Structure 1
Amino acid sequence: VITIDDGFKSTYTLAYPILKKYNLPATLFIYTDFVEKNSSSLTWKEIREMMQNNIEIGSHTLSHCNLLRYKENEDYDKYFSRIKKEIFLSKEILESKIGEKVKFFAYPYGVYSPLIKNLVIQAGYEGILNAHNMNNTINTNPWSLNRQNVFGNISLNSFVKILNQRPLNTSQIFPYDGIIESNQLVKIGAILEGGNYDAKTLSMKLGGAKVKFDFNPENREISFTPDSLKPLIKKSYIVNIT
């Protein structure tokens, strides 16, 4: 599945003609405040036109804000009300403008927490897309669908490798997916499901950078623990295990 985020005009002028020519379906994740904002934005007319040619529309919130971040002097109640509005109202606006049900939601910047995830589910979406740079399997949870980031400078060989990447199924991940953890030396990893694994064929990335990991073949645990001299900085991390 091809996905394109935000709602830039180039989606209509560059991507859409190619998708239409080859009859390729795609999903556009739109943040509604950006539509018709300036000359770089899509218009509702363009969005509706693309929908007639295998293009589905999903929500990317109202303003493309980082849903984890509090605004200055914002307490929990105000924060909760604001992010709920971002998730719920964006769906309502899109559905009123395009005349179809909006089924999928993509986290801005790929960041989220259990609270945010639950709000998306409560809003009535049928699936959530993250930015974990992993492929999906038939067993992938619809509330945690993976996506691969593909940028303009990627080579054809690299793209083929992405398509052929074998997803790893896990029976446990730690810390819990999307959790906010204050411990900057927290152990990060997963228990891999079934089969025999050779540590030499495994790879682990933290925030896009490879890390030296530990692997226990007996329980198939792969993990990384930050060094006390180099603790995690306080930010959001995406962990990739391949």
Structure 2
Amino acid sequence: MDIRSFLISITFTLFSIQLWANDNAVILVYHHVSTSTPPVTSVSPETFHEHMSYLHKHHTVLPLQQIVESLQNNQQLPDKAVAITFDDGYENIYDNAHPIMQEFKFPYTIFVNPPLIGKAHYQLDWQQVKEMASQGVSFANHGNHHPHMLTREINETEDAWLKRSIEDVQKAEQHLTEKLGYSLKYFAYPYGEFNNRLKTGLAELGYVGFAQHSGAIASYSDFSALPRFPAAGIYSNLKTLKVKLNSLAMPVSQVFPSDSVIVASPKSITFNVDITDLNTHQINCFQNNKVLPKSVIDKHIILTQNPIDTAGRHKINCTAPSKKSPSRYYWFSKPLFMATPDGQWLD
């Protein structure tokens, strides 16, 4: 190969890497920024500042709306783009997180339950919300009263449940619009729980859904249930968080089971994967920190799942290194939700 051909090859490779990198982003989710709140959903102000300082040096923090709309419209993003979100609208966000976000001039989004704003003592009030909104914070829908949305009332049919659940979201959206003057139509599922009927029903009304299973997002992601990496509690360690911040959305399709609500534990999880930039034999999948056995047939992955015998929220996480950039990992997460025998959902 002569020098001209070599330079053309290098240029093409760098260009393809740039395009690949510009079609990915990561969304982080926090709840409390405090040392006096439940540890599982909390990060200390000091650790939160450490996270933001790292992002300031190594990533591009963008408004959630810009990231979502760019990916939906196949528009390029900066490499290593990150959006920051908070769920539940706690007052300690205003007290502890907001000054840090202002220090770094970072935009971010808070998903709130409008009827609780200014009512519960631990929540933001509307004066704080409007002050933060004037300083670049966006607010979005987390439902009316943070219910387990998959719970049915006594003798309630599935159709009646779906109608009631969607009406709850619509009422919260209307409340937010009246208070703030805009509607993003972004909805974060309380507890990260959803099923196919709920997310499809909301998508048909124009909502983008945000869940709590792990993973990066890309133009080919499911915008009715986008993954977000939790960054508090046991997930607040910056060393492990760095890997997630540099992750890429694994291009999967034909995932089975397709629904995330399960009545009995599936024996296997299967999916297809685009192998343009990853090797199927390098895919490793984990359940409760244990590696799952897998079979590979061309682009088809078959995971032998460990039995799920307890109610609650479970997930399978799969990763594989990028061929173009081996230090970065593709990430796929399959959430699985199981109710108690009497149909209740656990906090």
State the TM-score, normalized to the length of structure 2. Answer: 0.62
Alignment map for 1:45-124 (pairs within 5 Å): 45-76=127-158, 78-124=160-206
Residue range with higher mean Cα deviation, 208-217 or 88-97: 208-217
| Consecutive aligned runs of 4 or more in structure 1 exceeding 6 Å deviation | none
State how far apart, in whole Å, the 2-side matches of 1:71 and 1:237 are.
24
Matched, 1:21 2:103: yes
- Tell me if the contact between 1:192 and 1:222 (Cα under 8 Å) persists in the aligned partners: no
Match of 1:197 in 2: 279
Matched, 1:210 2:282: no
Residue range with higher mean Cα deviation, 75-84 or 38-47: 75-84
- Count how many residue pairs are aligned between Structure 1 and Structure 2: 235
- Tell me if the contact between 1:184 and 1:233 (Cα under 8 Å) persists in the aligned partners: no
**Match of 1:143, SS?**
coil
- Tell me if the contact between 2:200 and 2:224 (Cα under 8 Å) persists in the aligned partners: no
**Match of 2:240, SS?**
helix
Post-superposition Cα deviations, 1:67-126, rounded to whole Å, max 9, x if no partner, equal 11223444445423421222111111111111112331111111111111123224432x
Match of 1:34 in 2: 116
Compare relative contact order (CA 8 Å, sep 6+) and give the higher one, 1 or 2: 2
- Tell me if the contact between 2:255 and 2:271 (Cα under 8 Å) persists in the aligned partners: yes
Alignment map for 1:180-195 (pairs within 5 Å): 180-195=261-276
1:128 to 201, 209, 221: 209
Match of 2:67 in 1: none
State how far apart, in whole Å, the 1-side matches of 2:220 and 2:176 are.
29
The one-letter amino acid of 2:195's match is S
State how far apart, in whole Å, the 2-side matches of 1:6 and 1:165 are.
26
State how far apart, in whole Å, the 2-side matches of 1:71 and 1:209 are.
35
The one-letter amino acid of 2:96's match is L
- Tell me if the contact between 1:211 and 1:224 (Cα under 8 Å) persists in the aligned partners: no
State how far apart, in whole Å, the 2-side matches of 1:205 and 1:59 are.
31
State how far apart, in whole Å, the 2-side matches of 1:84 and 1:224 are.
35
- Tell me if the contact between 1:70 and 1:79 (Cα under 8 Å) persists in the aligned partners: yes
1:150 to 231, 256, 275: 231
**Match of 2:279, SS?**
coil
Matched, 1:6 2:99: no
Post-superposition Cα deviations, 1:118-154, rounded to whole Å, max 9, x if no partner, equal 23224432x2111121011233232232210000552
**Match of 2:317, SS?**
strand
Please identify which structure carries the higher strand content: 2
- Tell me if the contact between 1:203 and 1:210 (Cα under 8 Å) persists in the aligned partners: no
The one-letter amino acid of 1:47's match is V
**Match of 1:142, SS?**
coil
Post-superposition Cα deviations, 1:137-189, rounded to whole Å, max 9, x if no partner, equal 233232232210000552221221111123311122111143x3434344213
Residue range with higher mean Cα deviation, 63-72 or 92-101: 63-72
**Match of 1:49, SS?**
helix
For structure 1, which runs of at least 5 residues remain unmatched after alignment?
none
- Aligned-CA RMSD value: 2.2
- Tell me if the contact between 2:217 and 2:227 (Cα under 8 Å) persists in the aligned partners: yes
User: What is the CA-CA distance between 1:221 and the residue it aligns to?
Assistant: 1.0
Match of 2:304 in 1: 224
Matched, 1:138 2:219: yes
State how far apart, in whole Å, the 2-side matches of 1:169 and 1:218 are.
15
Match of 2:317 in 1: 240
Match of 2:250 in 1: 168
State how far apart, in whole Å, the 1-side matches of 2:280 and 2:265 are.
29
The one-letter amino acid of 1:105's match is F
User: What is the CA-CA distance between 1:211 and the residue it aligns to?
Assistant: 4.0
State the TM-score, normalized to the length of structure 1. Answer: 0.86
**Match of 1:145, SS?**
coil
**Match of 2:86, SS?**
strand
